[in-house]
Chain A
Amino acid sequence: MGMREFLAKRILQSFLMIFIVITLNFYLFRIMPGDPVDIMFNPAIGPEAKAIMMREMGLDKPISVQYVIYLNNLLHGKLGYSFLEHKSVMSAILERLPSTILLMLSANILAILLGIILGVVAAWKRGTTVDISSIIAALTLYSMPMFWLGGIMIIIFSVRLRMFPIFGIITPGVSYANVWEYIADVGRHLFLPMMSFGIGTFGGLFLVMRNTMVDAFTEDYTLTAKAIGLGNRTIIFKNVMRNAMLPVITIVSLRLGFMVGGAILTETVFSWPGVGLLIYRAVMAHDYQMLQGVFLVITVLVVLANLMADIIYGYADPRVRY
């Protein structure tokens, strides 16, 4: 199977998966106990608004017709209307996507760096105190509820030491003299959520990295490299790292689903105005159109990100394609 065929197959699979997710998302919110009309609408919106929205979603028609209407709405980028945010679900998500991306990108870079560096060090010193204590530390951090770790950090660094703001992405009501002040303010707000997510999640990556590296260190080619007198640094970076990077790509792609969950929790603790906070607010207010819309968007994004990881993997490791 060549690269082109591999690509075509994976893309087709992903589209099928997206279609299944859309269908699942549609039916989930309709087969649940209770009248779908009551589930989808908050009584507070009033009868006229309800009538308009019911017509738009076809809730007075049979479920198969509703499904077609739902698909059609999706094709036009319509995810429904959020009574809580007073705007369409799509625009609410688009508005908040950048802050989620900022948080997730920085926190994941931190987690990946921590995981890889500590993983290599632990594997190189396997069996020593350094190795054992870093395993225990990683497992301990991994065992803590992520939102709890965030809460503890807030109490210590924001409330007691007053080093960082407690919540949000910018200080409310402040006008900035220049763009650098703005960036500095966002950075101060970003620091704690980024640390709590990064420190709370690098454990899984660390363990995989360590185990792969231990495998690689005990492989014949490493012994050969040692025998011909190559230095430790050359062995680690030239021979071992290359082979160990593949599982890291897999783990990073497997992290995606996990990440989304972490984003919801972290954003909720720090009131970080991202997509995750939308989910929390929607759950609290029973804003089911918002919940349905956000769930669909993040699931589709995860499927697409998985596809991308697979394509990268396909290029990185020719064995996958054959």
Chain B
Amino acid sequence: MATKSGVRISLNLARRFIGFWSEYTKSRIGVFGLIIMLSFIAVSAPAPYLTTYSIKASEGNIYEVLKAPSSKHLLGTDELGRDMLTLVVYGGRISLLVGFLATIIAGVLGTLVGSVSGYFGGWVDDLLMRINDIFLVIPGLPLMIVLSALLGRGIWNIIFVIGILSWSGTCRVIRSQVMSVKEKSFIESARAAGAGDTWILTRHILPNVLPLIVAQMVVQVGGAVLSESALSFLGLGDPTHISWGMILHYAFSCGALSSGYWWYLLPPGICVALVVLAFSFMGYSLDRIINPRIRAR
């Protein structure tokens, strides 16, 4: 009996996924975004196996310092004689890792607070929303700067800081969605059948809100990558890990601007822009699927 219903559920899921997939692939920019994101992951994840140069600060070639792109170094070298292409490929790992992990923290927090707030209402909602207001009003980047400066430079600190300061928007969206779902009649019948709050929330409401959560999170990954680059640029990044933001930080601090070392500045910035763009494209397409009102136009 249990396995039978299990099969039915997974069949249902598969059918829903196929339906979703065919809807998603209708949007050209959505597919484009997905391809960009997957290519970045495909290149960055196996970085040690794809690159021949070292990214260790001590292992740069001191005879090849700040060289413009050539056949030997396709994207040139930095002030320590390291190969820029290799740095950028490695940088993607850290930037994307920060992006995904910070988004997961923010997504879980936002979903938790938003669904509790929207479902229970009353004073719980009031209290949580006032807290949410504080996070919405306080300017994000300055608070991130203050927290990072106090916590010290480290990759986990950055993930933590971006994660716990980026949930307020998601929380609002989830809350309003939960509020509308909980008024539906199937919730009432579940309650009449004796279902408790936790059961209703996890089994009936969350599955209905899930697409929205995913869409919200997809857009947020890009935001987190941008936040990481900004914090690193300001000198709050982790000096022991190379991210795109850290490469930009080194570029600015070694005077790449006034000396016109364009090859030092261009690659990491283009990578950030492409990844952020990819996630906004994907978010845009997901939004069209979730909000049929937009699709109709």
Contacts from A to B (Cβ < 8 Å) = 17, 20-21, 24, 28-29, 32-33, 39, 126, 136, 139-140, 142-149, 151-152, 154-155, 159-160, 166, 214, 218, 256-261, 264-265, 268-269, 279-280, 283-284, 286, 288, 291-292, 295, 298-299, 302-303, 306
Nearest residue, chain B, Cβ from A282: B149
Q: Is B166 an interface residue (CB 8 A)?
A: no
Stretch at the interface among B15-23, B185-193, B228-236: B228-236
Q: Given A145-B226, A214-B297, verify A139-B248 contact (CB < 8 Å).
A: no
Contact yes or no, A143 B134, CB < 8 A: no
Contact yes or no, A148 B257, CB < 8 A: no
Q: A283-B234, A292-B146 are in contact. List 14 more A-B contacts (CB 8 A).
A: A17-B133, A20-B134, A28-B147, A139-B277, A143-B222, A143-B272, A145-B229, A145-B245, A152-B266, A258-B141, A261-B139, A264-B142, A302-B137, A302-B139
B252 to A: closest C-beta gap in Å = 7
Residues of the B chain whose Cβ atoms lie less than 8 Å from the Cβ of A166:
257-258
Residues of the B chain whose Cβ atoms lie less than 8 Å from the Cβ of A145:
226, 229-230, 233, 245, 248, 269, 272-273
How many residue pairs at the A-B interface have CB separations less than 8 Å?
Answer: 145
A205 to B: closest C-beta gap in Å = 15
Contact yes or no, A140 B273, CB < 8 A: yes
A308 to B: closest C-beta gap in Å = 13
Contact yes or no, A144 B262, CB < 8 A: no
22 contacts between A and B (CB under 8 A): A24-B134, A29-B150, A139-B280, A143-B276, A143-B280, A144-B276, A145-B269, A147-B230, A147-B252, A148-B272, A151-B269, A152-B265, A152-B269, A154-B258, A155-B257, A214-B297, A260-B141, A264-B142, A265-B141, A298-B139, A299-B138, A302-B138
* 3 nearest A-B pairs in the assembled complex, by CB-CB distance: A261-B141, A257-B139, A143-B276
In the complex the two chains form, what is the Cα distance from A107 to B233 in whole Å?
A: 21
A294 to B: closest C-beta gap in Å = 8
Contact yes or no, A218 B230, CB < 8 A: no
In the complex the two chains form, what is the Cα distance from A257 to B133 in whole Å?
A: 13
Nearest residue, chain B, Cβ from A139: B280
Q: Is B11 an interface residue (CB 8 A)?
A: no
Contact yes or no, A265 B230, CB < 8 A: yes
B161 to A: closest C-beta gap in Å = 12
Residues of the A chain whose Cβ atoms lie less than 8 Å from the Cβ of B258:
154, 159, 166
Nearest residue, chain B, Cβ from A39: B150
Contact yes or no, A143 B141, CB < 8 A: no
In the complex the two chains form, what is the Cα distance from A228 to B29 in whole Å?
A: 38
Residues of the A chain whose Cβ atoms lie less than 8 Å from the Cβ of B272:
143-145, 148
A58 to B: closest C-beta gap in Å = 20
Residues of the A chain whose Cβ atoms lie less than 8 Å from the Cβ of B277:
139-140, 143
Residues of the A chain whose Cβ atoms lie less than 8 Å from the Cβ of B269:
144-145, 148-149, 151-152
Q: Given A139-B280, A264-B142, verify A32-B150 contact (CB < 8 Å).
A: yes
Give the residue of A136, A152, A159, A257 whose beta carbon is less than 8 angstroms from that of B140: A257
Q: Is B143 an interface residue (CB 8 A)?
A: yes
Residues of the A chain whose Cβ atoms lie less than 8 Å from the Cβ of B276:
142-144
In the complex the two chains form, what is the Cα distance from A286 to B248 in whole Å?
A: 21
Residues of the A chain whose Cβ atoms lie less than 8 Å from the Cβ of B138:
21, 24, 257, 299, 302
Mask: chain B, 237-279; 1 = CB below 8 Å from A; 0 = not: 0000000010010011000111110100110110011101100
Contact yes or no, A151 B273, CB < 8 A: no
